[in-house]
Chain A
Amino acid sequence: MSQDDQKLKEMQAQIDALRDKTQPKPVKRTDDSEAMSLGMRAGTELVGTILVAGAIGYGLDQLFETKPWIMVAMLVLGIIAAFYNVYKTTMNQGTSVGFKKPPET
């Protein structure tokens, strides 16, 4: 039993060594550029999402001749999406899809 444990440990050490070799650890940055980039993103995220949603709605309205209902609906969705994204950004979850638990630090 203890021999097996020993073997497992050795194997794990080998795996760790190999992994360190192929995937060097990222160097942690200590400056504020990451935080500043997050702040920069929030503003455009807010405006851009609403603009795109409005534009899609306008296009669909032109297509189906239902002015202005799709645009209104899309604008509402766009505003929700914009704040949803800003919220996710401020909770440090990034703007990729999905809602995660706050990262443990």
Chain B
Amino acid sequence: MADPIHQFVIQDLVPLNIGGIDVSFTNSALWMVIAATVTTVGLSFAMRQRALVPGRFQVFAENMYEFVANMVRENVGSQGRQYFPFIFTLFCVVLMGNMMGLIPYSFTYTSHLAVTAGLALFIFLWVTALGFYKHGLHFLNFFSPEGVPFFLKFLVIPLEMISYLARPLTLSMRLFANMMAGHLVLKVFAGFCVSLMSVTIVASILPMGFNVIMIAFECLIAFLQAYVFTILTCIYFHDALEMH
């Protein structure tokens, strides 16, 4: 039976070593480049006509833009507009990583904790720096919600601080765990399919049918995880900009 973990192995495509640091071009990096290229070229291609009555591709591109724009407007507010380019890029990166991972023989870079934790830590540090930049030391009031009785503050402030510090972990873990679990299940059932083939071909239809359903489900998960990742980034920006 095929090893279900094997699909997550990072392989060096172009070994590179600069100053003792391994900066090889890996299959993970290759798929990031492909994702970036497909997004950039695809969106430019879709918008090249700028028609008043949009065609199929333009509708897709406009919908994607509006989807993220609405998300930013609803969750960050008018102050969040200047962060829209970053949030849109983030959405594209995560969505493409999840979606292209479903193509057979591709590599899902969002199924690695290193990638998602990198994104989440970057967002966390930026948002914290932004909070201190906008509000100065008043940002620390963020941890002390209004309307809490004095004695309860000794409990609530540590709770809020722990929840705040847990943000990068929960943000990255959710995406990575969902993507990895989904791909593992797909692979395991594909393995069943091959093993059962040696018994009877009829029996192997069952796991195959399950995989067909799983692929559709994974498409939903891929989109939903990108949505959750982006909306939480919006909420973090909102917290830093407006506090409460």
Chain A positions near chain B (C-beta within 8 angstroms): 22-24, 26-27, 29, 33, 36-37, 40-41, 43-45, 47-49, 51-53, 56, 74, 77-78, 80-81, 84-85, 94-99
Contacts and interface: CB of A to CB of B under 8 A. Distances in A.
B166 A53 contact: yes
B244 A97 contact: yes
A94 B238 CA distance: 12
Contacts of A49: 162-163, 166, 170
A15 to B, nearest CB: 15
Nearest to A83: B159
A47 B224 contact: no
A24 B178 CA distance: 34
A18 B243 CA distance: 26
Contact of A95 (B162, B225, B235): B235
A99 to B, nearest CB: 6
Nearest to A23: B78
Given A23-B73, A26-B70, A41-B228, A96 B165 contact: no
Interface residues of B, number: 37
Contacts of A99: 145, 147-148
A48 B73 contact: no
B74 interface: yes
A43 B170 CA distance: 9
Contacts of B62: none
Nearest to A38: B228
Contacts of B159: 77, 80-81, 84
Contacts of A97: 142-143, 145, 160, 164, 239, 243-244
A82 to B, nearest CB: 8
B130 to A, nearest CB: 15
Contacts of A22: 78
A48 B145 contact: no
Contacts of A77: 158-159, 162
A40 B224 contact: yes
Given A49-B170, A96-B235, A96-B244, A37 B228 contact: yes
B228 A40 contact: yes
